[in-house]
Structure 1
Amino acid sequence: MSESEREDDVDEVPGRVRRAFRDHGSFEPAGEGVWTATTTAFDAAIEAEPTPEDDGRIRFSVTVRVPTLSAVTVDDVADVVETGWCETFERRVVDVGGVTRGDHSFEPRVDRDGETVAVSFSLTDVNERRGVDDAGALVDFVEGTYVQGVIPGYEYTEPVEGLISSARRQGGGSAGL
């Protein structure tokens, strides 16, 4: 451990964590202890902070905000369809087992506020690089789960239209949407 890392306050993010985010390439700094994901079409932020026990572990709080179905469609979406979509998305997105490299037990939280659904996870890891990798995997998982839940037959706006186009290109043009 370098002298500068030993001098970090418990409340400050250690340099090793800042370097792990920088080296990962999927995040950019958004303030002290906060990074935003640059590889998703959605609003995804990761907050990192040392645990209160000061034992070298880092707590990563991951929040991904996605639009509701009706927020990204040109056509009206019936309330029953919107409700069903939200319930299905929540059931799928909390089933996060096996997505991360670390041995984490998750208690995801899903909150709907108007036309936005926020999905939050937290994990603690002593290995900052594995923690950053796992935070990125959670962001990717939420995006993938969202795309899987897109209902065919609607005309979508951004960012969903772009995600659908990308899925079609990667799938050889027959994404079924």
Structure 2
Amino acid sequence: MTDVPPDVADAFESREGFAESDGGYTLETTSFSGRVTASEGETWETNYEVTVRAPTLQAATADDVGAAVRDGWFDTLERRLEDAPKATRTAVELDEYAVERDGEEIVVTYRFSLGGERQAADVAKTFVEYVEGTYVEGIVPGYDYVGTVAELMDSASTGGSEGTRGGTPL
């Protein structure tokens, strides 16, 4: 992280699963790409941005997914991901929240401010894990899933990882 107090960097470096990367930290314990950056806040707080990248429904399946299913799935995911602060053990108020399509990826962004560096690291990790878990819970049955999503589904249902799978883990 650039231009942040040393105690913020220390908090992220001491948390299991975070690795320093390009002026921020990536969470290496999830299948989806989760990244955290921080900057000085106006008061005693630090501003954090958590960005998670996941495949769109169409990118996660070998099948053609109709527009109504794609759009309905995306809208539902967007509404469900807004509840991420409720999954934390810290009272977190989001400064900004966004879910956007970027080609074959969905980009989820949470911005928040906190004074406790250790708490912020825990919140950031929870947000990334929440996105991944919510995504998997929202898998639409009946499609042949591939890549990372297939591996997540296989892991959820059998504890293994083969790379292709259909149906739902639930």
Which of the five TM-score ranges fits, normalised by the shorter chain?
0.7 to 0.9
SS in 1 for 2:126: helix
2:147 aligned residue: 158
Match of 2:65 among 77, 86, 99: 77
Is 1:113 the counterpart of 2:102? The answer is yes
- Where do 1:14-163 residues align within 5 Å? 14-32=5-23, 34-53=24-43, 55=44, 57-106=45-94, 107-163=96-152
Unaligned runs of 5+ in 2: 160-167
Shift of 1:112: 1.3
TM-score (normalizing by structure 2):
0.87
- Where do 1:162-173 residues align within 5 Å? 162-169=151-158
- Judged with a 3 Å threshold, the aligned counterparts in structure 2 of structure 1 residues 176 and 162 are, in CA distance, closer, same or farther, namely closer
Shift of 1:114: 2.3
Fraction of identical pairs, as percent: 38
* Greater per-residue strand proportion: 2
Larger radius of gyration: 1
Q: Number of residues paired by the alignment?
A: 160
Q: Any runs of at least 4 consecutive aligned residues in structure 1 with deviations exceeding 4 A, and if so which?
A: none
Q: 1:97, 1:38 → 2: CA distance?
A: 21
Unaligned runs of 5+ in 1: 1-10
Letter in structure 1 aligned against 2:152: L
Q: 1:79, 1:20 → 2: CA distance?
A: 43
Could you report, residue by residue, the CA deviation over 1:54-106 in whole angstroms, capped at 9, with x for unpaired residues? Answer: x2x21110011111110010111111111111111111111224212221112
Q: 1:167, 1:176 → 2: CA distance?
A: 6
RMSD: 1.6
Check conservation: 2:54, 2:106, Cα contact below 8 A: yes
Could you report, residue by residue, the CA deviation over 1:6-42 in whole angstroms, capped at 9, with x for unpaired residues? Answer: xxxxx7122211111111111111123x111101111
Could you report, residue by residue, the CA deviation over 1:106-165 in whole angstroms, capped at 9, with x for unpaired residues? Answer: 242111122211111112111100000000000011001100111111111110011001
